[in-house]
């Protein structure tokens, strides 16, 4: 750098400011300081374990990564089209472990597009395995595939009654 | 600082209550607050209730009533102050835990307490007074912000180098997000929320709380904050407030940057500043256009790139002609007949009033000549090298005389060009300055001119002509060398380069009337000569030198 007008010794107040700034420099704000806590799933289960709250979240853990690895996500990876190309299990992971984020919203939207329906009582996603045996105003009944977040896998349920009052039907626009 | 007015007064009251000496609390209040806060944190984090705490909140307010906290304004204030201090103490305790197995667990632990407290504040603000009573809500918010700011300053002054930014940054950020949720009650007070935040951030500016400077910049440049301030609020009502915060930042950086000794902490803040400017240049160029004068007034002359970022901004609906187009006729452009918006009162900055009077009468009568000979004395403030001149006065003078000149030429039914700008009181002043000032003064003076070389507008055109005229009419090579220097040093840095600056430089080296290549300073050293050649090559794509 150049100082075309020549250097001027710092005033006392500026020296003091520099010292305070320097000590702040050694504990910089983290990215997570200005973000909402990243909650995980399921609350009840992990809360009982309560490892100083840490396990509840997918916290940011910055660390040096080699330059030849990708440093930032792919372009347009925050679009619905991108989420529609993800595996169902990935979408479930995003849904359960990234609550309250745009990612969760996109995952839910992608799941809906693949005819998965969210059950607000069981807090699980269901998909018709076949045409329901009964359909009326209140419920439908038949064989469903659902995703069990506790066992972390897809299961089949025969003769299941999906009551419409538990159908999450908010319009995700 | 002037005595605060309006809702601002509540921020200052909040600060004063924390900072007042011997501020004793009624017996038992600390314990009550501690208990209430613990209860609330428990409620906030318990299942189901955490998500929508409205029901739990009304029960909690009842509890506060039972404890007598809501009886008087004074007690409520004390409750907020003590709660803030308790939360902050918790953070210091957590961060000091060296035994914890994983450092990444420490921060969520801090957030646990702080976020609960923030939600309580947000709910209290939202529900204070009737649903339609915005005044009560705003007063309470201002009070709380004042209290947190007061705690911060107190903590900053006592802990000194052990001060932690985290708790305050988290409280301010999360409260801001809470208060910007899409709810009608909050939308009704949004403008007041933004104003309250700007005042608070101005009070906590880096020159007042240097240990908070990084968190402060994070707050000022937060995605949501920037969006609300510059894009969402109607009629650009928040623009002057945001400009003030940037000026606070530039002013703080100035003494460190002007010496060009960039220690790591300074570099870090400087890089952050450049990033903010890049975002502004990309997303809000009109904002940078409107406030360029005030920004350039506080940025040290050697911060070329920082200033170029500001001067390169141009209104988005404008298409700039490529400066490298052969035979580009700047005179023919529509835009050069319009003046840019300058959101600063230039005339007011020319002080003392007597000097302004003399200046105006000289511009009118082109006499007395003594005005010119005394001009330098009016600008000079000391004999110490490096700080000889009143830069702000110099900047104001140049822009004022320029705008007066444009108006004068127009009043004669003409438009500014190389011949109409000559032989006037205005040009007398400019020529006198370029001859009479010493190297330092002339450098500042030419920089003040170059700061007006921006997108196509009447100022850019006038000052471009003026600079070229001064070059052509110079009686010594030293003046021409310095003009070249000021232009060149703004071009050899990385992009962006202001349009008017390129136009002026290209004209200088291309137009044979300036005999640019015949000057000795162009050939003074082989590396300088090479530099000129390479700049010329990049400036004159297909034409020959």
Residue B231 DSSP class = I
C-alpha to C-alpha distance for B131 and B153, rounded to whole angstroms: 33
Task: Note the pLDDT of residue B327.
Answer: 79
| A30 vs B107, B210, B212: nearest CB | B107
Strand partners, B122: none
Top residue of A1, A2, A5, A54 to mutate, by most chain B CBs within 10 Å, is A5
Q: Count the helices and strands in chain A (H runs, E runs).
A: 5, 5
* Residue numbers in A near B213 (CB within 8 A): 21, 24
Q: How far is B414 from chain A (nearest CA, A)?
A: 39
Give, for B265, the enclosing helix (H) or strand (E). Answer: helix B264-283
pTM of the model: 0.91
Q: How far does the CA of residue A34 sit from the closest CA of chain B (Å)? A: 6
Among chain B residues, the shortest Cα distance to A7 is held by B259
At residue B6 the predicted structure's pLDDT band, cuts being 50, 70 and 90, is low
Q: Contact at 8 Å (CB) between B371 and B413?
A: no
- CB B47 to CB A43 under 8 A? yes
Query: Hey, of A30, A42, A45, A52, which one would you mutate to test binding to chain B, going by the most B CBs within 10 A of its CB?
Result: A52
Residue-by-residue DSSP string for B102-122: -GGGHHHHHHHHHHHHHHHHH
What's the burial of A55, exposed, middle or buried (CB within 10 Å: 0-12/13-18/19+)?
A: middle
Q: Which residues, at least 6 apart from B2, have a Cβ–Cβ distance to it below 8 Å?
A: none
Euclidean distance between CA atoms B287 and B222, whole angstroms = 17
What are the angstrom distances between the C-alpha of A72 and each of A67, B7, B278, B436? Answer: 11, 43, 19, 56
Instruction: Work out the average pLDDT over B148-172.
Output: 96
| In the predicted structure, residue B259 carries a pLDDT above the cut 60 | yes
Q: DSSP code of A11?
A: P
More confident residue, B459 or A100: B459
Q: Quote the CA–CA distance of B367 and A127 in Å, as a whole number.
A: 90
Q: Which whole-number Å values give the CA distances from B16 to A157, B146, B152, in the listed order? A: 65, 8, 12
Cα–chain center distance at A138: 32
Indicate whether A22 pLDDT > 90.
Answer: yes
Q: Are B466 and B430 in contact (CB under 8 A)?
A: yes
Min CA distance, B401 vs chain A (Å)? 25
Q: pLDDT for A100-125, tens place per residue?
A: 889 999 999 999 999 999 999 999 99
The residue-averaged pLDDT of A48-56 equals 38
- Across B41-55, B183-197, B455-469, B513-527, the highest mean pLDDT is recorded for B455-469
Confidence check: pLDDT of B10 > 90 = no
Which structure tokens are listed for B321?
A: 């002609």
pLDDT at B193 over 50: yes
Backbone angles phi, psi at B89, to 5 degrees: -60, -40
Residue B230 phi, psi (nearest 5)? -105, -25
Q: Hey, how many other C-beta atoms are within 10 angstroms of the C-beta on B496?
A: 15
Mean pLDDT to the nearest integer, A141-159: 95
Q: Which of B214, B220, B265, B492 to mutate to test the interface with A (most CBs of A within 10 A)?
A: B265
Structural contact between residues B324 and B539, judged by C-beta atoms closer than 8 angstroms: yes
Residues 6+ apart with CB under 8 A from B489: B304
Q: Cβ contacts (< 8 Å) between A61 and chain B: which residues?
A: 104
Which of A25, A33, A52 is facing B109, going by the closest CB pair?
A: A52
Q: What is the pLDDT of residue B51?
A: 52
Across B247-284, b (16+ Cβ under 10 Å) vs e yields bbbbebbbbbbbbeeeeebbebbbebbeebbeebbeeb
Residue A50 confidence class, pLDDT cut points 50, 70, 90: very low
User: Pick from B105, B160, B443: which is nearest to A4 by CB?
Assistant: B443
- The partner residue sitting opposite A2, judged by closest CB among B112, B162, B302, is B302
Looking only at the bridges linking them, the beta strands covering A124-128 and A153-163 are unpaired
With beta carbons under 8 A apart, name residues in chain A contacting B111.
Answer: 32, 37
* Identity of the residue in B207, B218, B259 whose CB atom sits nearest the CB atom of A34: B218
**Cβ under 8 Å to A: B residues 382-421:** 385-387
Classify residue B357 as exposed, middle or buried by CB count within 10 Å of its CB (0-12, 13-18, 19+). Answer: exposed
**Whether the Cβ atoms of residue B453 and residue B464 lie closer than 8 Å to each other:** yes
When CB atoms are compared, the residue of A23, A28, A37 closest to B108 is A37
Mutate to test the interface with B, among A6, A15, A24, A49 (most CBs of B within 10 A): A24
B 206-245 residues with CB < 8 A to A: 206-207, 209-215, 218-219, 222
Read off the pLDDT of each residue in B221-227 and give the average, rounded to a whole number: 96
Mean pLDDT of B505-509: 91
Residues of B in contact with A7 (CB under 8 A): 259-261, 386
The alpha carbon of residue A52 is apart from the nearest alpha carbon of chain B, in Å, by 7
pLDDT of residue B52: 58
From the CB of residue B165, how many other CB atoms can be counted at a distance below 10 Å? 23
Residues of B in contact with A11 (CB under 8 A): 255
Better-predicted residue by pLDDT, B235 or B540: B235
Q: How confident is the model at residue A38 (pLDDT cuts 50, 70, 90)?
A: low
Average pLDDT taken over every residue of chain B: 91
Residues 6 or more apart from B519 whose CB is under 8 A from it? B477, B480, B481, B484
Interface predicted TM-score (ipTM) over 0.85: yes
Structure token pair of residue B441: 């003064």
B107 touches A at CB < 8 Å: yes
Q: What is the pLDDT of residue A5?
A: 78
Q: Can you tell me the mean pLDDT for B62-75?
A: 90
State how far the Cα of B507 lies from the Cα of B468, in Å rounded to an integer. 8
- R_g over Cα of chain A: 25
**Residues B375, B441 contacting (CB under 8 angstroms):** no
Confidence of residue A2 (pLDDT cuts 50, 70, 90): low
Closest CA to B497 of B330, B322, B375, B361: B322
Identify which has the larger pLDDT, B11 or A58: B11
B147/B150 Cα distance (integer angstroms): 5
Q: Are B277 and B252 in contact (CB under 8 A)?
A: no
The answer to whether the CB atoms of B214 and A25 lie below 8 A apart is yes
Q: Which pLDDT value is given to residue A164?
A: 94
Torsion of CA B505, B510, B513, B518, to 10 degrees: 90
Return the percentage of chain A with pLDDT > 70, whole number. 85
**d(Cα B241, Cα B353) in Å, to the nearest integer?**
28
* Binary contact (B255, A11; C-beta < 8 A): yes
**Distance from the B440 Cα atom to the nearest Cα atom in chain A, whole angstroms:** 7
Q: Give all strands (DSSP E) within chain A, no chain letters.
A: 117-119, 124-128, 134-135, 139-148, 153-163
> Which tokens in the block code for residue A165?
């009052």
Given a cut of 80, is residue B480 above it in pLDDT? yes
In the structure encoding, which two tokens stand for residue B140, read together?
């309470």
pLDDT on residue A21: 97
Phi-psi domain of B96 (left: phi exceeds 0; alpha: psi -120 through 50; beta: other): alpha
Q: Is B78 in the A-facing interface, judged by CB distances under 8 Å?
A: no
Question: Which of chain B's residues have a Cβ under 8 Å away from the Cβ of A173?
Answer: none
Judged against a pLDDT cut of 60, whether residue A172 lies above it is answered with: yes
């Amino acid at each position: 750098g150049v100082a075309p007008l020549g250097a001027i010794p710092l005033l006392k107040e500026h020296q003091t400011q520099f010292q305070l700034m320097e000590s702040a420099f050694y504990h910089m704000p983290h990215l997570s300081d200005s973000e909402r806590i990243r909650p995980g799933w399921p609350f009840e289960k992990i809360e009982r374990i309560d490892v100083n709250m840490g396990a509840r979240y997918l916290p940011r853990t910055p660390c040096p990564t080699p330059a030849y690895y990708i440093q930032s996500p792919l372009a347009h990876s925050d679009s619905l089209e991108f989420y529609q190309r993800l595996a169902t299990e990935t979408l479930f992971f995003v849904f359960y472990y990234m609550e309250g984020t745009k990612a969760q919203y996109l995952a839910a939207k992608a799941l809906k597009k693949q005819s998965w329906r969210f059950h607000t009582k069981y807090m699980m996603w269901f998909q018709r395995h076949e045409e329901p045996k009964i359909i009326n105003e209140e419920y439908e009944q038949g064989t469903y595939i659902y995703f069990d977040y506790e066992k972390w896998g897809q299961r089949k349920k025969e003769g299941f009654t999906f009551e419409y009052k538990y159908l999450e039907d908010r319009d995700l626009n | 600082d002037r005595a605060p007015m309006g809702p601002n007064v509540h921020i200052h009251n909040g600060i004063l209550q924390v900072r007042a000496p011997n501020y004793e609390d009624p017996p038992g209040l600390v314990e009550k607050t501690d208990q209430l806060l613990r209860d609330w944190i428990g409620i906030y984090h318990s299942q189901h209730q955490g998500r929508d705490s409205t029901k739990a909140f009304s029960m909690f307010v009842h509890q506060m009533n039972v404890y007598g906290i809501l009886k008087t304004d004074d007690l409520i204030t004390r409750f907020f102050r003590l709660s803030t201090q308790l939360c902050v103490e918790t953070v210091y305790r957590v961060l000091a835990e060296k035994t914890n197995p994983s450092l990444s667990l420490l921060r969520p632990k801090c957030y646990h307490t702080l976020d609960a407290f923030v939600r309580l504040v947000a709910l209290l603000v939202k529900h204070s007074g009737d649903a339609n009573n915005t005044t009560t809500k705003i007063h309470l918010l201002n009070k709380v912000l004042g209290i947190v700011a007061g705690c911060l300053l107190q903590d900053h002054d006592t802990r000194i180098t052990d001060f932690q930014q985290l708790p305050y940054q988290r409280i301010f950020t999360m409260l801001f997000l809470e208060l910007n949720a899409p709810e009608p009650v909050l939308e009704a007070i949004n403008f007041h929320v933004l104003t309250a935040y700007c005042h608070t951030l101005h009070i906590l500016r880096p020159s007042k709380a240097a240990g908070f400077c990084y968190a402060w910049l994070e707050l000022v440049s937060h995605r949501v904050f920037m969006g609300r301030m510059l894009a969402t609020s109607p009629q650009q009502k928040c623009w002057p407030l945001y400009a003030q915060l940037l000026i606070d930042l530039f002013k703080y950086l100035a003494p460190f940057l002007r010496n060009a000794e960039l220690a790591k902490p300074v570099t870090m803040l400087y890089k952050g500043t450049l990033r903010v400017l890049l975002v502004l240049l990309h997303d809000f160029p009109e904002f940078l256009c409107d406030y360029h004068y005030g920004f350039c007034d506080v940025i040290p002359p050697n911060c070329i790139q920082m200033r170029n970022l500001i001067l390169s901004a141009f209104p988005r609906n404008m298409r700039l002609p490529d400066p490298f187009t052969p035979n580009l006729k700047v005179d023919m452009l529509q835009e050069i007949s319009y003046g840019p918006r300058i959101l600063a009162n230039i005339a007011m900055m020319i002080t003392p009033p007597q000097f302004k009077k003399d200046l105006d009468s000289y511009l009118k009568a082109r006499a007395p000549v003594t005005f010119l000979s005394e001009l330098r004395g009016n600008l000079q403030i000391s004999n110490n090298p490096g700080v000889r001149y009143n830069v702000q006065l110099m900047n104001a003078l140049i822009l004022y005389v320029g705008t007066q000149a444009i108006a004068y030429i127009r009043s004669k039914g003409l438009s500014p060009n190389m011949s109409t700008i000559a032989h006037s009181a205005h040009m007398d002043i400019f020529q006198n300055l370029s001859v009479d000032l010493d190297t330092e003064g002339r450098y500042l003076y030419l920089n003040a001119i170059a700061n007006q070389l921006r997108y196509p507008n009447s100022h850019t055109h006038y000052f471009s002509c003026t600079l070229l005229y001064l070059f052509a009419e110079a009686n010594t090579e030293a003046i021409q060398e310095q003009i070249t220097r000021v232009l060149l040093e703004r071009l050899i840095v990385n992009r962006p380069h202001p349009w008017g600056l390129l136009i002026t430089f290209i004209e200088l080296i291309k137009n044979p009337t300036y005999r640019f290549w015949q000057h000795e300073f162009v050939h003074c050293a082989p590396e300088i000569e090479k530099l000129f050649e390479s700049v010329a090559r990049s400036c004159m794509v297909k034409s020959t030198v």
